[in-house]
Structure 1
Amino acid sequence: MDTRANYHQALQGLQTKLLKMGSDVEIQIRDAVEALRLLDEPMARATVARDDEIDEQMLRIEETCFSLIALQQPMAGDLRTIGMAMKIAIDLERIGDHAVDIAKIAIRLNGEKLVKPLIDIPLMASIAQTMLRDSLLAYTEGNVNRAASLADKDDEVDKIYSTVVQHLTELMGTDISTNRQLTHLLMVAHYLERVADHTTNIGEGVIYMVAGKRKDLNV
């Protein structure tokens, strides 16, 4: 196999690593929110424990990117693709951190009863997971339209976030333990809103990678 074929194989391997990391991070979000919804401490602790593997995946992707740049001296188009892979890995690692933050809140609330069943927070998580999948597909396909469509889903998440903040704030009163739980749930909603923002960051990077233009999807 010649050097160029090896290079293209390495690029494909890089995309495979990104998709695997993205899938694992998506599972982290799903399990963290489910652990919170059910107040399932073992599930929450398992989610926290998997964070080290997410961090390792980010480092392996960065090493692959640096190796490709150093050994292959890619042209401008491929260089943007490789640089974007590093940026995506960082965003995925941060999304994973937010999943851990949510799981830790589920652990803190262990033994309590939720003030109200969680409906909007799981919905935010579901939309954020779809956004994550779409952002990675946009990268692997080089699909500007798919990347741009993330803006509409981000707007959905923002609207639900505003509703959650309003409803939870209205439930606050004089009971300290209730207010503490509500504050934790407000933080969870904030973390999910940030997850959506990270996926739009990926979409913006894809648009720049393909079209060479900067577009703000998070407005």
Structure 2
Amino acid sequence: MFRLEMDRPVARIVIDRGEKRNAIPIGCWSELERIAAAAAASDARLVVITSADPASFCAGADLSEMPALIEDVKKRHIFRGAMTSALARIRGMGKPTMATIEGGCFGAGVSLAMACDMRVAGPNATFAITPARFGISYPQPDLMRLIELVGPGQAARLLYTAETIDAAEAHRIGLVELLCGDGVCGKSIVDSIAGNAPYSLYALKATMAGRFGVEKRFDDAFSSADFQEGWEAFSSRRKPDFVG
């Protein structure tokens, strides 16, 4: 249900299970992790997670599999582990990531969007985190990310009420960073990021994440080919043409 589309310098992870509103079966989380690893290893400067069907970004976990978890303790562990591992792979990617959200984004779909650095929502996007409707909970890493984005009060509101909010409200509380109109959602920001220096993008992401060696990355940037091209372009008042 996931596929990787390369349109260098952009890699797109496309969710394509429209007949089930892009709900993710337990067995497909490992597929997502594998594709995310391939995107991370590619020469793309930016990874975008999107859906093939504009009516739904992701309905979350496949609810038809939930009754089996009542009796099958092992399957519960497999579900939680596979989902956690896939989302950690996306969060840990060394290059910028962005989710473009059109249509419904619910439950684990919100987790998937939150695993990215940025979220752009189309005019018909809707969001809900609904474990309270089913008598279950939500993974702690995803709860912490939700609180980081919207604050504890708004996180409590979304979780306790399980209410659906529209794109404008999601933007107001900080769940998404940008709203887009009709057309290709997020195209302008994708083009803007993809046109910038790869060295800078990777170094800035590592620095924001507090990863080891960021001081050396800062120093080494001045001897990079990207800096040479960027400075020559600035001096010549032309658009830089970064390679890599």
Q: Same fold (TM over 0.5)?
A: no
Under a length normalisation based on structure 1, what TM-score does the superposition of the two structures give? 0.30
More strand by share: 2
More helix by share: 1
Bigger relative contact order, structure 1 or 2, given CA contacts below 8 A and separation 6+? 1
Under a length normalisation based on structure 2, what TM-score does the superposition of the two structures give? 0.28
